């Protein structure tokens, strides 16, 4: 492992979290998946790409939830959504947990697609 590997991973994470957070500000919930595709496409090592994509998606959506919690009462909204889902009204935490699970899944699908696309493109261009 080179000294610059962790620096590139950290820089990628910071840029990805900022991009996901900015996308969420404009209602682009799929920004986590697009960012994860780019991480999987350009970061070497599939396991490293998955970890950075997961942490980026969770942090980007988690920071958004934290920002909302500091400025608006999201517990009430989460409890209302829980009631619509057929859960007890006091289980708003389940909705927040499901939101973070969705972020994790978006990061997983995006990184998987990016890694698969990189491998496909590298095999195609080595055959030519």
> What total number of domains does the chain contain?
1
The parent domain of residue 16 ranges over 3-127
- How many CB atoms are closer than 10 A to CB 100? 14
Instruction: In whole angstroms, give the CA distance from residue 24 to residue 64.
Output: 7
pTM for the predicted model, two decimal places:
0.85
Tell me the pLDDT tens digit for each residue of 58-74.
999 998 888 888 888 88
Report the pLDDT value the prediction gives residue 8, as an integer from 0 to 100. 86
Res. 33: pLDDT tops 80:
yes
Q: CB–CB of 115/76 below 8 Å?
A: no
């Amino acid at each position: 492992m080179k000294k610059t590997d962790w620096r590139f991973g950290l820089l990628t994470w910071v840029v990805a979290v900022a991009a996901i957070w900015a996308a969420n500000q404009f209602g682009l919930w799929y920004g986590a998946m697009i960012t994860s595709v780019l991480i999987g496409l350009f970061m070497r090592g599939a396991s490293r790409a998955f970890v950075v994509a997961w942490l980026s998606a969770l942090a980007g959506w988690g920071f958004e939830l934290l920002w909302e919690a500091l400025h608006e009462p999201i517990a009430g909204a989460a409890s209302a959504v829980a009631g619509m889902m057929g859960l007890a009204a006091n289980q708003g935490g389940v909705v927040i947990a499901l939101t973070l699970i969705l972020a994790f899944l978006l990061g997983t699908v995006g990184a998987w697609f990016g890694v698969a696309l990189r491998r496909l493109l590298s095999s195609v261009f080595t055959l030519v």
